[in-house]
């Protein structure tokens, strides 16, 4: 496998290329926990580098939770890394706190000059769910999903865009309230949270780990959803959950999650699209459950391309 650690489970990951090396950042937790369900609350962010996306060298961990009190005093979850206009590297991540029993998720930020040593920018989130549009504890919901930030620039824009896992505060079916959280920033630090992309009641109760990419001329969003969050109709069609893609306009002026198509690698979760040094696109996710056993390791890269209707497909 591309990245398997003897002492830790590995799951959600995100990647960046520094011009010479591929950097993988990933959630990890000790296999000594025995029960893999416990990994989510006993997590740190690991870091590894590679020349070929297959053979990895492990580096010092990138990020750990903060001391209490703090919005990230319990966990530092999935995020993304981008290079700012100032030449610094920006790592956006999800934080949850012990103070609210981990039910509120918000976006934090750390910066680095070298992708190795990271410093958190502030003790409060840089982006969080706005109760005008999103499900929040403040509005009386039992949890507040606003996580997995993916930060990038849309074509032709100078400002930055953030997509997150989120839930709408208006819906007909409470099990289908997934939307894409949406925010904009001019400097990567100050963010304006905007109304979500997509609409609830579109077939998903949760859409996680978004990524925007133009793959061989086709612009799409990649995300994942487990089987429990699929609509009855999708489950009746035999879908098992896993990675999904949906073709979108380059400016994200319309996002229709009803058109999402499952990628045929159902035992992989939280996939990412990563370009190799030759410019080819690859699909990398973590191996979830096989035959009832949680694997917790990253897969080898799967070469992919895209179709204007079907979205992401194997190459």
**Among residues 5, 12, 113, which one has the least CA distance to residue 58?**
5
In a domain, 254, yes or no: yes
Domain count, the chain: 1
> How confident is the model over 216-230, as a mean pLDDT?
98
pLDDT of residue 1: 62
Work out whether strand 106-112 and strand 89-96 pair parallel, antiparallel, or are unpaired. antiparallel
The whole-angstrom separation of Cα 176 and Cα 17 is 35
- The pTM assigned to this predicted structure is 0.97
User: Would the pLDDT of 40 be above 90?
Assistant: yes
Is 121 inside a domain boundary?
A: yes
Q: Give the containing element (helix H, strand E) for 233.
A: helix 232-236
**Residues of the domain holding 177:** 8-314
Mean pLDDT of 154-178: 96
pLDDT (average), residues 135-142: 96
- Give domain status of residue 3, yes or no: no
Q: Residue 285 is part of a domain; what is its CATH number? A: 2.115.10.20
Residue 2 counted as domain residue: no
Please provide the average confidence, as pLDDT, over all residues in the chain.
Answer: 97
Q: Residue 172 pLDDT more than 70?
A: yes
13 part of a folded domain: yes
Which of 1-5, 139-143, 203-207 comes out lowest in average pLDDT?
1-5
């Amino acid at each position: 496998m591309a990245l398997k650690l003897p002492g830790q489970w590995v799951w959600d990951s995100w990647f960046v290329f520094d011009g010479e090396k591929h950097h993988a950042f990933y959630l990890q937790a000790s296999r000594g926990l025995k029960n893999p369900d416990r990994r989510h609350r006993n997590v740190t962010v690991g870091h590894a580098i590679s020349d070929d996306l297959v053979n990895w060298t492990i580096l010092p961990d990138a990020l750990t939770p903060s001391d209490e009190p703090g919005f990230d005093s319990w966990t530092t979850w999935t995020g993304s890394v981008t290079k700012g206009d100032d030449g610094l590297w920006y790592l956006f991540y999800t934080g949850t706190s012990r103070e609210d029993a981990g039910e509120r998720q918000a976006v934090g930020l750390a910066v680095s000059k070298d992708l190795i040593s990271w410093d958190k920018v502030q003790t409060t989130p840089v982006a969080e769910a706005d109760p005008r549009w999103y499900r929040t504890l403040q509005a009386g919901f039992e949890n507040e999903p606003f996580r997995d930030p993916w930060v990038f620039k849309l074509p032709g824009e100078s400002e930055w865009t953030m997509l997150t896992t989120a839930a709408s505060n208006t819906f007909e079916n409470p099990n289908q309230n997934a939307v894409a959280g949406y925010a904009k920033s001019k400097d990567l630090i100050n963010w304006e949270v905007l109304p979500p992309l997509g609409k609830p009641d579109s077939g998903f109760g949760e859409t996680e780990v978004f990524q925007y990419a133009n793959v061989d001329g086709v612009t799409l969003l990649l995300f994942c959803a487990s089987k429990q969050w699929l609509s009855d109709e999708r489950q009746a069609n035999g879908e098992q959950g896993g990675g999904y893609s949906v073709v979108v306009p380059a400016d994200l002026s319309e996002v229709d999650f009803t058109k999402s198509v499952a990628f045929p690698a159902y035992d992989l979760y939280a996939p990412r699209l990563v370009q190799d040094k030759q410019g080819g696109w690859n699909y990398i996710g973590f191996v979830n459950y096989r035959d009832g056993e949680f694997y917790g390791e990253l897969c080898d890269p799967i070469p992919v391309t895209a179709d204007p209707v079907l979205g992401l497909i194997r190459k």
